[in-house]
Structure 1
C-alpha cells in the first residue's frame, strides 16, 4: 500500500463515512484510521476500510502515523478538536462551517501559526471541474464588469430531518438551514464575487414544533460593485437544486449543480461565444480537494479554500441570520483579520486569501 499523506478521520458519523470513502479513492493520500468517542461506531467505519480505530485522539495521533486530521465532528466541537489536533502536530482540514463564531476562528488561526501547520476548510464545490473552469474564465474578465448574481440552493427535508437529529434544529449546536445546507452555495457566491459589504435577509420559521432555526431564507447581498440575491430552502420539493447565475456587461455565467455554461461577447470580434463545462459530482470533488491538500501541505500552493474563506462565509451567514432576526434590517458584514493581516477580498475576480 502506498504511504501517501496520512489522514486521520475524526468523527465516524455520516459525513465521517463520506470522507473515509473519498480518502480510500484519492491519489496521494491514505486513510490512516478513524477516531470517535463511540467505540462501536469508530470500529464499524474503520473495519469497512481495514484501518485502525481509536476512541482517544492523543493515542490515535501517536499510533497512526497520520499527517493530517480531518475534523468531521458536530460543528459545535470543530474548534476544540481541530486545536487539539494542531497541538498534536497534525495539519488540519475541517468540515464546513469551520466554526460557529470568530473567537474560535481566531483561536485556530493562532494555533496553526504557532505550530507551523496548515489549516484548511472543506468546500468541495470549488473543486468541481466545471465550476473551477468557469471561475478562471470569470477571473479573466470575459463577463466584463460584473453587475449582479442570483443564487438558489434548495432541497426538500421532511420533519424527520430535525426529529432524527435534534441538533439540526438548535442554532447553538450548529443547526440551521443556512449553516448546514446553504453554506456551499454561499461560499461559491463569495468566491465569485468577493466580500459582501452589507446584507439583508428574511426567514420563515420551521414548521416542526420546538425547532428554532429557519427553514427558508431569502436575502440580498451588496458587494463592492455587485448586487446579489440568495434563496436557501429546506422546503422546495423535489429539491436537490444548486444554481448560481453571474451576469456582467458582456456575458452571463450559469452554474447548475456542477455544470457550467458561459455565454459572452468576444472581446475582439464582438461575436457571441458559448462555452460549457460538465462537472463531477460533489463526492468526486471531495476526493479532488484531498488530492490538492497533498500539494498544500508540501508547500507547493496555497489552499483553494483556507481558513480566511471559511471565516468569511461564517461571518456572512451570521450577518444574514442577524438581519432576518431583525425583520430584514440591513447588517454590515465584518471583515476578519487572521494571521496578523486582513482578509479583505473585493471585485468579481476575487479569490480566497491564502493562510
Structure 2
C-alpha cells in the first residue's frame, strides 16, 4: 500500500530496492541503504506481520508496504530485494525474486542445504539477476588489507590458522520453537553462528581440500549440535582448526593465521574495526611487514554497510554482487563437510558433497547424527 503523504522518489539512475522481513536484522540493511541515497532508492517493504510492518515503514519513511512479497515484486518491480527472513524461507524467496527479475541479497545462512543453494544459483541469469549472501566480515578494511598483502606476497605462505567462534546462548534461547532445529535453521552453531568466521577464513585462505570434524550436544536441549570442532586442509597447504560453540561464557570471535613472515590476528565478537587486528612480524621481517601493514587499506568496519555498498555498486555496473553464489557454495560446502565428517567419523573432501548424496540434500544427512 502507499502511505498517505509519501511518494516514491524519482530515481532513474538509482537502484529500486525493497526489503522483505522487518525484524531486528532488517534495520541494519535499511540504515545502510539510507546512507547511500544517491545510489539506491528504498521503495518498499514486505512482512506478514502488519503491525511490525507499519512500525518499521513509519520509522524509516519507506513509501510502500505489502503483506505479500509476490505482490510487491509485481507492483514495485525492484532491482534488488534484501531478504531479512528466517533461513527456511530463503530458498523459495530467492527463486521468486530471480524469476521476477530482481537480484536478491540474503542474510546468512543463504539456505538450509547445498541442494537449495545450487538451485538458487541455477536460477540466476548469465547477465543477472543474481543472488548474494550477507557475509559482511569480508568487507572490513582489516580483512581486505590482509588479503591484499597475502596476494602481493608480503606475508609469505600461510601455514597454520585457527578460527574460533566462542559464543554463549542459554537454554532459553533454544526454547524458541524454530531455533536449534534442522528443518528451520539447517543446523546449530556451525550453520548459524560460526559461519561468519568460517566464511572470512575461506576468503583469506581460499579453497579447502578436506575436513575432519566432531560435533556434539554437550549442554543444550535441541535437535542440532551445540559445539563443533574441525581440522581443515587448504589447497595452498595451510591447515586450520575451527571451533563453533554456543557454550562459552567468555565470548570471543578469533582468527589467527601464521604466515611465513608474520602472524595476523583478529579478536572481536560480532563485528570488527581496524583496532581489532594485530600483526606480529617474524624475526628479520619487522621493517618490511610493518611498512606494508601501515600502508594498507584502513578505516572501514565490518558492518552491513561495508558489503551493501559493494553490492549496490556492482549492480549499478550490471555486475554480479559480492558475495556471489559460487562464494556462498564454497562456505556452505565447508559447513556440510563438518556435519558429514562428524556424523560419519571420517575425513570428507569437497567432491563427496555432490548432487544426490545425503549431506548435499540435508545438513544432517537425513537422520539424527548426534
Task: Give the alignment's TM-score, normalised by structure 1.
Answer: 0.85
Runs of 4+ off more than 6 Å? none
Distance in 2 of aligned mates of 1:307 and 1:319:
18
Q: Name the counterpart of 2:34.
A: 24
Two-structure CA RMSD over aligned residues (Å) = 2.6
Q: CA deviation at 1:290?
A: 1.4
User: 1:201–1:219: 8 Å Cα contact kept in structure 2?
Assistant: yes
Instruction: Choose from 231, 248, 256 the match for 2:267.
Output: 256
Q: CA deviation at 1:179?
A: 0.8
Q: Name the counterpart of 2:106.
A: 94
Worse overlay, 169-178 or 106-115: 106-115
In structure 2, do the counterparts of structure 1 residues 114 and 90 end up closer, same or farther at CA, with 3 Å as the change threshold? Answer: same
In structure 2, do the counterparts of structure 1 residues 281 and 234 end up closer, same or farther at CA, with 3 Å as the change threshold? Answer: farther
Task: List runs of 5+ in structure 1 lacking aligned partners.
Answer: 338-355
Instruction: Choose from 313, 316, 319 the match for 1:298.
Output: 316
User: 1:153–1:182: 8 Å Cα contact kept in structure 2?
Assistant: yes
- CA offset digits 1:305-355 (Å, max 9, x no partner): 21111111111101101212234x211123889xxxxxxxxxxxxxxxxxx
In structure 2, do the counterparts of structure 1 residues 304 and 66 end up closer, same or farther at CA, with 3 Å as the change threshold? Answer: closer
User: 2:127–2:318: 8 Å Cα contact kept in structure 1?
Assistant: no
Q: CA deviation at 1:206?
A: 5.0
Q: Name the SS for the 1:166 alignment partner.
A: coil
Distance in 2 of aligned mates of 1:70 and 1:148:
36
Q: Name the counterpart of 1:326.
A: 344
Instruction: Choose from 197, 210, 224 the match for 1:213.
Output: 224
Confirm or deny that 1:78 pairs with 2:95: no
- CA offset digits 1:136-195 (Å, max 9, x no partner): 1111112212111111111111112111x3222102212411111111001011111111
User: 2:80–2:103: 8 Å Cα contact kept in structure 1?
Assistant: yes
Q: CA deviation at 1:280?
A: 4.7
Q: Name the counterpart of 1:245.
A: 256
Distance in 2 of aligned mates of 1:98 and 1:331:
22
1:36-185 equivalence runs, <5 A: 36-51=47-62, 52-64=64-76, 66-113=78-125, 116-163=128-175, 165-174=176-185, 175-185=187-197
Q: Name the counterpart of 2:18.
A: 8
Distance in 2 of aligned mates of 1:304 and 1:230:
24
Task: List runs of 5+ in structure 2 lacking aligned partners.
Answer: 1-8, 355-370
In structure 2, do the counterparts of structure 1 residues 279 and 183 end up closer, same or farther at CA, with 3 Å as the change threshold? Answer: farther
Q: Name the SS for the 1:84 alignment partner.
A: helix
Distance in 2 of aligned mates of 1:273 and 1:206:
42
Q: CA deviation at 1:29?
A: 2.1
In structure 2, do the counterparts of structure 1 residues 196 and 160 end up closer, same or farther at CA, with 3 Å as the change threshold? Answer: same
Confirm or deny that 1:198 pairs with 2:210: yes
Q: Name the counterpart of 1:35.
A: 46
Confirm or deny that 1:308 pairs with 2:318: no
Distance in 1 of aligned mates of 2:286 and 2:19:
51
Give the number of aligned pairs: 331
Task: Give the alignment's TM-score, normalised by structure 2.
Answer: 0.82
Q: CA deviation at 1:250?
A: 1.8
